[in-house]
Every structure is written in C-alpha cells, then in structure tokens.
Amino acid sequence: MLRRMTEDEPYYWSLDIPGLTSGQVPSVASAVEDKGLDLQVLPVDPAVFLTLHLDQHTVEALVAGLAGAQSGPILDGIREVFVDWLAWLDTSPVEPKE
C-alpha cells in the first residue's frame, strides 16, 4: 500500500544508499516492505531522475535566482516546490541543522 502525502505530512524522510545497484534494489525494497512498517519503497532511477538533497540556504538562493527568471510551467513549478518547502520548514517541528 502506498502511503499518500497529506496536508499534515507533506514531506517525509528518505534514505540514500550510496553504492546501491539496480540489481540490489528489489532485495532492499523487499527487506524494507517485509518489516511491516506500512512503507513502500519507491525506487528512483538516476538515469531518469536527478535527486538532490538541498539545504535551506541553497533552496533560498535558488528561489532568489529564479525570481528574475522568465515565467513558464517548468520554472514556475520548481519555484513553487521550493517556496512550499520553505513555508513548511518555517512551521515544521523539524529543526534545521546549520
């Protein structure tokens, strides 16, 4: 069962496993899903998706840089994602680590 993100939990923890190969993904996914934690592993193929771990200062710099960019669906979308995450972070119980 895939857990849906909610207004109360729009963001979630993730794990980065350096060195993980495409052949190991099914075993790792099964091990996690078999623990009964009500979690589903969502494999992310690095040949299809760029996954970045950006800190608050980097996101703020990107938002500032995008402020003068020409409007368009892709740039507007990523700007919205960044702004939404910063707004969530302001009200989140998560303490950012400097």
Q: Which pLDDT score is estimated for 97?
A: 58
* pTM of the predicted structure, to 2 decimals: 0.70
From the first residue on, what is the mean pLDDT of each consecutive set of 10 residues in the chain (98 residues)? Answer: 52 86 94 86 90 92 93 94 90 66
Residue 98 identity (one-letter amino acid) = E
Q: Which pLDDT score is estimated for 3?
A: 47
CA-to-CA distance for 55 and 97, rounded, in angstroms? 9
**Which burial class, exposed, middle or buried, applies to 10 when counting CB atoms under 10 A from its CB (0-12, 13-18, 19+)?**
exposed
User: Around 38, how many Cα atoms within 13 Å sit in the side-chain half-sphere?
Assistant: 2
Asked whether the beta carbons of 27 and 35 are under 8 A apart, the reply is: no
Asked whether the beta carbons of 76 and 63 are under 8 A apart, the reply is: no
Task: Report domain extents, the chain.
Answer: 1-42, 52-98
